[in-house]
């Protein structure tokens, strides 16, 4: 049975002391959330070590937001999967639309990154999602199918145990515009079908698929009630512990 997860993507927000404080608040309030719901915070690289200290022995797991596409060496400014593991991080987000849009992240680079992350023992939250032009042109199913296939078809059913998919329509990220529960559900069902075609129905059924894009306490319940929506990847609302935990209480 797949797991419900709520993951907070802090993006490039908070200083280290602010992030440590936020992590402490999330830990404190996490006691209100049913034990079976997975909780993850994805912090900036600089915050991983101190936040790992805060999360030690708690149910809240630590994630990075990206990793290098090389193992180690002369790659100034990059952070390797080995470095992430050494901080205590258990996860990394990969392929976020902001990375695809602003930093030239493409599917082939993502294959390398997912490969390295899994080999290092990290779990991966792989993001897919169409932009506004693609949705208006009616290409959203095709775009999401292609992004999913281009990366995940390089992996095995065994690898899928350590991969979560996040559907994040780019037009809904940070815009206040949420996909309707129906719009999200139909894409989630499509992603599950794409996974089933390669890995079989059982693996598809066991894979957690998160929704992301202006998810907040007021709309999470309706989204999470959909049969193929297993939780959320939360940006803006993850910066307030009350809102983040409010979302996690919405199953």
Residue 122 contacts residue 87 (beta carbons within 8 Å): no
250 sits near ligand PGA (criterion: CB under 6 A): no
Give the distance between the most distant pair of CA atoms in the chain.
48
- Residue 222 per-residue DSSP state: H
Q: Considering beta carbons, is residue 184 or 203 the nearer one to ligand PGA?
A: 184
Spatial separation of the C-alpha atoms in residues 158 and 208, rounded to whole Å = 14
Q: Is 96 designated active site? A: yes
- Could you say which of 60, 209, 215, 247 contacts ligand PGA (CB under 6 A)? 215
129 sits near ligand PGA (criterion: CB under 6 A): no
Spatial separation of the C-alpha atoms in residues 117 and 60, rounded to whole Å = 20
Least separation in angstroms between residue 111's CB and ligand PGA is: 21
Least separation in angstroms between residue 102's CB and ligand PGA is: 12
The residue among 78, 30, 85, 10 whose CA lies nearest residue 52 is 85
Residue 122 contacts residue 167 (beta carbons within 8 Å): no
Q: Which of 96, 98, 140, 188 is catalytic?
A: 96
Task: Tokens 């932009």: give the residue.
Answer: 131
44 sits near ligand PGA (criterion: CB under 6 A): no
168 sits near ligand PGA (criterion: CB under 6 A): yes
Q: Considering beta carbons, is residue 12 or 74 the nearer one to ligand PGA?
A: 12
Q: How many residues bind ligand PGA (CB under 6 A)?
A: 13
Which residue's Cβ has the minimum distance to ligand PGA? 235
Which residues are the active-site residues? 96, 168
């Amino acid at each position: 049975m797949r797991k419900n997860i709520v993951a907070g993507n802090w993006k490039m927000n908070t200083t280290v002391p602010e992030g440590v404080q936020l992590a402490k608040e999330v830990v404190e309030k996490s006691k209100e959330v049913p034990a079976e719901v997975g909780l993850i915070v994805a912090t900036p690289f600089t915050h991983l070590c101190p936040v790992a200290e805060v999360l030690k022995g708690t149910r809240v797991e630590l994630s990075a937001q990206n990793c290098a596409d090389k193992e180690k060496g002369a790659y100034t400014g990059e952070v390797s999967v080995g470095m992430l593991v050494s901080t205590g991080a258990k996860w990394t987000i990969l392929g976020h639309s902001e990375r695809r849009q602003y930093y030239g992240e493409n599917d082939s680079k993502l294959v390398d990154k997912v490969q390295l992350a899994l080999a290092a023992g990290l779990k991966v939250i792989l993001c897919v999602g169409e932009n506004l032009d693609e949705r208006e042109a009616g290409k959203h199913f095709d775009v999401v199918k292609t992004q999913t296939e281009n990366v995940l078809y390089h992996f095995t059913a065994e690898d899928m145990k350590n991969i979560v998919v996040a559907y994040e329509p780019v037009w809904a990220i940070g815009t206040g515009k949420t996909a309707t529960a129906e719009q999200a559900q139909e894409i989630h069902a499509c992603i599950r079908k794409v996974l089933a075609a390669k890995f079989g129905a059982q693996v598809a059924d066991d894979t957690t698929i998160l929704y992301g894009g202006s998810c907040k306490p007021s709309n999470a319940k309706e989204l999470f009630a959909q049969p193929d929506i297993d939780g959320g990847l939360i940006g803006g609302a993850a910066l307030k512990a009350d809102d983040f935990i409010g979302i996690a209480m919405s199953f």
